[in-house]
Amino acid sequence: MQTLQTTSLRVVENQLFILDQQALPQEKSWLDASSVETLVGHIHALRVRGAPLIGLSASLLLALLAERGNSRDELAVALETLRASRPTAVNLMNNLDRMKQALWQEDFVPALVAEALRLIEEDKQLCDAIAKAGSALVKPGSRLLTHCNTGGLATAGVGTALGVIAHAHQQGLVSNVWVDETRPLLQGGRLTAWELGELGVPYQLIVDSMAASLMAKGEVDAVWVGADRIAANGDVANKIGTYSLAVLAKFHGIPFYVAAPHTTLDPDCPNGEAIPIEQRAASEVTGVAGSFGAVQWAPEKARVYNPAFDVTPAALIAGWVLDTGVVTPEAVSNGFFRGSAV
């Protein structure tokens, strides 16, 4: 495969490398991800993360394994192992469905390579289209609030919700971005803050529980988030804490927007209750670990409930910004996500 580089993925001499998103922003480290076991480990540890990026990394690895001479049967097993690595984000399943079709072509090796590269280029184009469509909803002087990380670190392109914010900033529409730290792994504090700083977008970091007070003071004009899965009725699964923001935004009369590519849609999933929610390790809540070592602040035997995602009902969402354009609540009520319009 040709040499390839995105913000978070790199292919060099038939080897896949991922940018370690656990080490950011203090360290920019590239890790080998050239085996199924290694990549699955990176996905579980959130060293590689973001719904679009997870799907793209799995697709690239399958193509590289094919070029190394893995048989069709071996690749089929690898594909299903990768599929099971992250249950909530549907981009992974959608991408691997396309790779599976390529796998069963007669000349499957070049077919897998071509499909993986096509997915990368498509994601870049999808991100650009989302950014353009979403920025049309941003008013001059906007103070925006975002949750988790939805930028170039999570995609092959400019990102989803953060791509919208960056594009709107380039147009002079953004005065400030409130960045939720985003529990449990502080992906807003570590990753979104870093990306906005790199882009020159003015931002302020807040703990997750501060959003309500900011909204009450009239300091938030809109909320922008991404999605890991959009159900047929418009319900959205996203990083834990998203639902809280949607409820707060509704109470304060603030528009709440979801930005995602069409690869995040799951028309076969009827509603949010049918979305599987990944449970994370208790240690992510009871303490913290990093290059500085490990700190335990909760009692050793503390019981922990640690879902990685929650579900935001469609009724709380002002608009779904896809690569195909803005989808209104009326369109969703009329079955947009269930029908052929998707």
Active site residues: 228
Pairing of strands 222-225, 203-206: unpaired
Nearest to 255 by CA among 135, 127, 137: 137
Residue written as token pair 């990083």: 239
Pairing of strands 222-225, 142-146: parallel
Q: What are the CA-CA distances from residue 24 to residues 151, 153, 162 (Å)?
A: 14, 10, 17
N residues, the chain:
342
CA 200 from centre of chain: 22
Residue 4 CB contacts under 8 Å (≥ 6 apart), including other chains: 10, 11, 60, 117, 120
